[in-house]
A and B are shown apart, each in its own frame.
Chain A
Amino acid sequence: MSTESVQFHRDADRLTHDLRHRALIQKALGGYYIKRDEQKKKYTDWQQARASAAAAKYEAVNHLDTYLIELSDKLAARGTKVFWAADGAEAADYIASVARGAGVKRIIKSKSMTGEEIHLPQALEKAGLEVVESDLGEFIVQLRGEPPYHIVFPSMHLTRGEIDATFQKKLGSAHADTPEELTMIARNVMRQKYCEADMGISGANFAVAETGHISITENEGNARLSTSLPDLLVTIVGIEKVVPKLDDLAVLLPMLATAGAGQNMTCYNTLLGGPRQPGETDGPREFHVVLLDNRRTALLADPEQRDALHCIRCGACLNVCPIFKNIGGHSYGTTYQGPIGSVITPHLRGLQSWKHLSFSSSLCGACAETCPVKIDLHHHLLQNRRNAIEQKPVWWEKPIFAGFAWFMRRPGLYRFAAPMLRLAAPVLHAIRGQDIDPLSLWTRTRDLPVPPSQSFKEYWRDRNAKR
């Protein structure tokens, strides 16, 4: 087992026993399900909408070079500086050098999972720059020194009491009882930061090739402020975020809101295509767009799983995943949690080290059922498993499955399984759950069924004998 896998088991074991966490997450998501279902009902045809969204992303991803070039050219035509980064280090270095070149001291940042993925805030802080997360949830976990718990709801795992304690400790604020009061504290802190920042950094939800815009979806307004007030703006966007046409957003923006948060549309959906243009009185004077690969092309090269790049990062698969709900977002130990994270992380960070994420699923398929762009998520988990084993069979598993196959190909031998089970049953029952019980992985927490007096095969033989 990799160190990541060992850590995963430890964290998952701890969280699955945490009944307080279990109840908190159930409650937090309860409202989401209701609103999401209400919203879906309003659609003329939700399933056809999914197919349309999937078709738009399929077109984009399967002609990625064409659309990226078009995007880049159209952005550049308005004075945007476009930088293509092969990996995270290249992206972080470039952004740091842009900041250094402009004498930047204070950076205000809006939500970017891509930025998390390449550890951008940490890289910039190491370069001596102050980076403040402006999104409320991100701000809270930044103060606590924690990674985001969920790609859309970073502080879902925290109670108001915990947030109040954090604010008091880190901001010196007065005690606050309600989410409203806590939000106002953050709002007041942030207003200063927006006005003082020399540089803004944002992510992007989509990038429109036809018109040369990046598109940012949010509810708080912090991304609009972070991308409008500072003189210098850098947007980092994964290359897979591109969509061919502006009209594709007419379907994708509402679906992102519905699947992600049960909303009709989120509060602010903003298209940014360039720095301050002639005739504009505000906005950044310099705008950089960093297009990031960081092994997305490796996933692209796997035709079976290429559709994982269709992901619009709505978080819906996390919200319906029973594994996610029981182990929590931090147990994944990586930027992208839930089913999509379990599919792509082995590709982005290494199959052998991260395959455990693809194995830790019951393959219930709720994720694929809910995905607004119809990614075949649960089947990709199976494919990752196959790929991992083909590359490197687990040394003690291989003989077990070889034995399993050998046995199951011999119905004559298999006939004797039932009598063996009946013989062993009382002994197994007596030692159930203890260390010496070979089935203790089951019996630690669950009883086994009592083997019946007759297997089906035995019943069938008896029945034929009687006729």
Chain B
Amino acid sequence: MPNDSRELILRRIRKALAVTAPARHLVGAVTGPSGHPPQDWLPPVPASEAERIALFEKNSLDLKTEVRRCSDAAAAASELAALARENNWKSIGSHRFALGNEAVSALGLPVVFTDQPYETASLERCDAAVSGCDCLVAQTGGIMVTSASAGGRVLSVLAPHHVVVASTSQLLGDLADAFAVLRKHHGSPPAFVSFITGPSRTGDIERILVLGAHGPKKLTVLLVQA
């Protein structure tokens, strides 16, 4: 390891911080209503599951995330089969996860499993990726994934169509709730976490929205009733 400037930089910082900076533009107490934390200033999140599902669906509509409600695992399997037919999938990428195992094998398609050593080139040729997730976030319409919950770092971003199979019991209120899940289930939060909020997009050309810039052009959530 080459010698770096750690000590020099820390010295500079400590010297600079010897003088206090005024905080006059900050409001004194920044706790939210009823002593809750600052995220309470964000758009409000309803309390009931039904309202949260409705909010997640509304956000998804704005984001162009497709949400298909499924009454149970069997319904999810037939929705997945429908997706495969509608979109003419020849091969898919996936991993082994409780909510998806049956549905994925029932497709009868070649599967590149990314929870074991795999060839990037094979995954790149897949038409779709089917994964699980850690949780869904109602406030943003987002999906939190980690390597463990979504088959690695690449699966959910490489294929042109990403399908998430999730349970309504995974639907949380806001990002702070999602971070709490991260701490609870993973102890020291894992090396890779991503919040996916809609299909990939860009506005770089004349500020006009185009979907599918580099990541998936289509994002579908199969929301299975718990």
**Taking A254-B175, A297-B13 as contacts, is the C-beta distance between A268 and B157 under 8 angstroms?**
yes
Q: Does A64 sit at the interface, judged by CB under 8 A?
A: yes
Cβ B210 vs Cβ A179 within 8 A = yes
Q: Considering the chains assembled together, what is the distance between the CA atoms of A164 and B192 in angstroms?
A: 36
Give bound CA distance, A154 to B204, whole Å: 7
Residue contact B191 to A293, C-beta cutoff 8 Å? no
Closest-CB distance, A393 to chain B (whole angstroms): 26
A256 within 8 A of B: no
Pick from B21, B116, B175: contact of A62, CB under 8 Å: B21
Determine whether A224 belongs to the interface, using a CB cutoff of 8 Å to chain B. Answer: yes
A261 to B197, CA, bound (A): 14
B184 within 8 Å of A (CB atoms) = no
- Number of B residues, CB within 8 Å of A: 86
Interface size class of A (residues with CB under 8 A): 35 or more
Query: Does the CB pair A58–B23 fall under 8 Å?
Result: yes
Among B4-12, B46-54, B75-83, B99-107, the stretch that binds chain A is B4-12
Residues of A within 8 A of B12 (CB): 293, 297, 300-301
A86 surroundings in chain B (CB, below 8 A): 5, 8-9
Shortest Cβ distance from residue A44 to the other chain B in the assembled complex, whole angstroms: 5
Which residue of the partner chain, among A84, A85, A183, A247, contacts B176 with CB atoms under 8 Å? A247
Residues A68 and B13 in contact, CB atoms below 8 Å apart: yes
Q: Are B20 and A303 interface neighbours, CB within 8 A?
A: yes
Answer whether residue B94 sits at the interface, using C-beta atoms and an 8 A cutoff. no
B132 interface residue, CB < 8 Å from A? no
Interface CB pairs A-B, < 8 A, 30 = A28-B207, A49-B42, A52-B41, A64-B17, A85-B5, A86-B9, A155-B204, A183-B210, A195-B120, A220-B202, A220-B213, A220-B215, A224-B153, A224-B157, A227-B153, A228-B154, A250-B37, A261-B203, A265-B197, A266-B197, A267-B198, A268-B194, A268-B196, A283-B191, A291-B9, A293-B9, A297-B13, A297-B16, A301-B15, A304-B22
Give the A-binding residues of B (Cβ under 8 A): 1-2, 4-6, 8-10, 12-17, 19-23, 25-27, 30, 32-33, 37-44, 59, 62, 114-118, 120-121, 124, 140-142, 147-148, 152-154, 157-158, 174-176, 179, 182-183, 188-208, 210, 212-216
